Amino acid sequence: MDLNRVQIFAQVVEQGSFTGAAKALGLTKATVSRKIAELEADTGAQLLFRTTRALKLTEAGSSYYNRINKILSDLQSAENQLSAHQQLIKGNLKIVCPIELGQLFLGPILAEFLTRYPEITLDAELTNRKVDVIEEGVDILFQIADSGDTRLQSYALVNAHKSLMASPAYLAEYGTPKVPQDLAKHKAIRLQSAHIEGAWRLFDGKTWIVAEPVAQLTVNNVTLAREAAIAGLGITAVPSIIAQKALEKGYLIPLLDDYPMIQTKVVLSYPQRAYLPRKYRVFIEFIYAALFKRWGAQVLEVPEFIGKGSQGE
């Protein structure tokens, strides 16, 4: 295949004339005409109807153009990506992350990342509000549950299993609930935000049961809910990744394990694009290395560009 002739043919179609293609490519009209004739001779098919007023694609020409257009587009993307690999790893990344996840997971990672890549700067916002990545110019978004925004490329990182829990002191005073209906007799620490529904929904194997015990405290911060529960204020529902250490040390006791709650995932998203600049790639690779180190096989979805070495294989 003479790729040069294929590119000339594509330009003739897109420009609508030999003259337009010649001007776009910096060639003479005669050269363009000759290359198209050679292409038709090699393919054994007439690709264009030529008239004094315009050019039109034949049926064979239309089919051929549709195929080569994708090939040429893929070649351009490959060239752009290769160019991106040659870029210096520098620039700014705007990152948005839920407050608690940022405090517990991102802090140490960002410090290590910036030490390794001193030419990169980060603007990190910890917030539980809803974020429009495109409108706000966000590069990397961490969130609990996928927003479903088709403008974004998203990967589920790990499950954020949510469960009910309370302190031993609280349970000693008020008793341990055995079934969801028992929750009506207890005090709740309600967690509610843009991403988190305040009601508790538990599955009994057949249906979902909605439990809404009296809440003396309603907060929009998982860490505050966890600490209030440790202090014995009541029962709360927080992701196990946030309460893991408190559960391991016995500061909190898991409740109603036979009645699972609606589960969510930690999701990483970034704007859809033909290729990723190196600053994106190295940051995402760094995040995944930390995920595999901490959660291993529990990591859910992995981008194709993440190497096997990063997965501990």
Mean pLDDT across 215-244: 89
**Proportion of the chain above pLDDT 70, given as a percent:** 89
Of 91, 125, 89, 134, the residue nearest 106 (C-alpha): 125
Tell me the pTM: 0.62
In whole angstroms, how large is the CA radius of gyration of the chain?
29
The pLDDT of residue 4 is above 50: yes
Which of 97-101, 159-163, 198-202, 225-229: highest mean pLDDT?
225-229
The tens digit of pLDDT for each residue in 60-110 reads 888 888 888 778 777 766 666 655 554 568 889 999 998 888 887 888 899
Q: What is residue 304's predicted lDDT score, i.e. its pLDDT? A: 86
- What is the pLDDT at residue 99? 84
pLDDT confidence of 142, banded at 50, 70, 90?
A: very high
Determine the pLDDT at residue 313. 46
CB 165 within 8 A of CB 254: yes
For 100-109, the pLDDT digits (tens) are: 888 878 888 9
Q: Which residue type, as a one-letter code, is found at position 99?
A: I
What tokens were used for 51? Answer: 């008239």
Sign of the torsion formed by the C-alpha atoms of 101, 269, 111 and 158: positive
